[in-house]
Amino acid sequence: MAVLSKRNIIITCFNIFSAIFIMFFIGLLAYLSKDLPQTFGQMIMNPNVLIPSITIIFSVFSVFFIRKFFLQNTRAEIFFFLIFLLTLNFDGIRSIIYILEQLDKPESYVLILTRLAYFGKILGVFVLLCFAMMTIDTEYKPFATLLSAVILLALFVALLMPFTPNKGVNALFIPGLDYYYTALLIIKILTVLTLVFNYLQNRNWEYLNLAVSMIFILAGSHTLFYTASPLGAIIGMALLATGTVFISYRIHKLYLWN
């Protein structure tokens, strides 16, 4: 009960931080947009503003409904999944960067915000690996230690990672490490393989269903983070939403009523 309470406290803290971040995000967008030559409606329709905004809305509503779905019974697995969903809020930084570019602000601001966006991206990948690790059938699940470790590691990588002077279509500077994408891909593969291993160990098809759902989530969140096209956004959101629904249902079925 004490562990469960601690998890709920941490999730609540993340929710409060998320709410503050969203209010700051909306306020900053409104403040910066008043100096733009275009109207607020024109600005919000830009892909680098619209796509991150939709991602944030999805993050907020999915966390709310999943917590209701699990009736506050935050297992270690769903705890890390909720943290992942909250990291999607960092995608909103793309919108701020777009406005700063329109206002010809110094690129040093863009670099700082790029690091913050990649911190959220890297943390999201790490916590999904933690999610998969928590599904392994062991009595000791050091969720607090794991969470602290991945936050520090993601922060360390985001702060020290070099960036090229070139920008991607998502308005962020492109990482200057050739092995950055390879490293993230390996972590994603390990996440899926961990769930497959659990299936082989327990012979329970729900773990294999979790692995398939995880592929949807990884592909969807990746697409939403890097795309600036409406079609890419639709595909990414469809994959992310489908994976989120199925992974929540499978965890619910696997642990609460099976």
Q: Indicate the domain borders of the chain.
A: 2-253
Write the DSSP string, 51-62. Answer: HHHHHHHHHHHH
- What confidence score (pLDDT) does residue 65 get? 84
Q: Residue 157's pLDDT is what? A: 92
Question: What pLDDT score was predicted for residue 106?
Answer: 82
d(CA 131, CA 128): 5
The pLDDT of residue 195: 92
Residue 26: its H or E element: helix 2-33
Cα dist from 61 to 69, 127, 181, 241, whole Å? 12, 19, 29, 11
Would you give the DSSP letter of residue 257? -
224 versus 135: the higher-pLDDT residue is 224
Residue bearing the bigger pLDDT, 57 or 41: 57
Q: Which two tokens stand for residue 63?
A: 């966390």
C-alpha dist (Å) from residue 88 to 103, 125, 130, 188: 25, 11, 16, 16
Q: H or E element: which one contains 175?
A: strand 173-175
Which residue did the predictor score with more confidence, 206 or 157? 157
Q: Is the confidence at residue 257, as pLDDT, over 50?
A: no
Say what the pLDDT of residue 214 is. Answer: 95
Q: Of residues 61 and 6, which shows the higher confidence score?
A: 61
Kindly report the average pLDDT of the chain as a whole number: 83
pLDDT value of position 1:
45
Helix axes 47-69, 76-87, angle to 10 degrees: 160
pLDDT given for residue 96 in this prediction: 84
pLDDT band at 176 (very low <50, low <70, confident <90, very high): confident
Q: Which residues pair with 167 in a beta bridge?
A: 173
When pLDDT is cut at 50, 70 and 90, the band that residue 139 belongs to is low
Least confident of 32-36, 161-165, 176-180, 202-206: 32-36
Q: Once rounded to an integer, what is the mean pLDDT over residues 64-85?
A: 79
Count of other CB atoms within 10 angstroms of residue 109: 14
With pLDDT > 90 as the criterion, what percentage of the chain qualifies?
34
Which CATH code for domain 2-253? 1.20.1070
Angle between helix 205-226 and 230-255 (nearest 10): 150
Measure the CA–CA gap between 41 and 21, rounded to whole angstroms.
22
Q: Which residue has the tokens 């398939």?
A: 212
Q: In sequence order, what are the residues at sequence separation of 6 or more whose Cβ sits closer than 8 angstroms to the Cβ of residue 202?
A: 137
Q: What pLDDT was estimated at residue 63?
A: 85
Give the Cβ contact number of residue 59 at 10 Å: 24
Q: Would you give the distance in Å from CA 81 to the centre of its chain? A: 9
Q: What per-residue confidence (pLDDT) applies to 92?
A: 85
Residue 194 one-letter amino acid: T
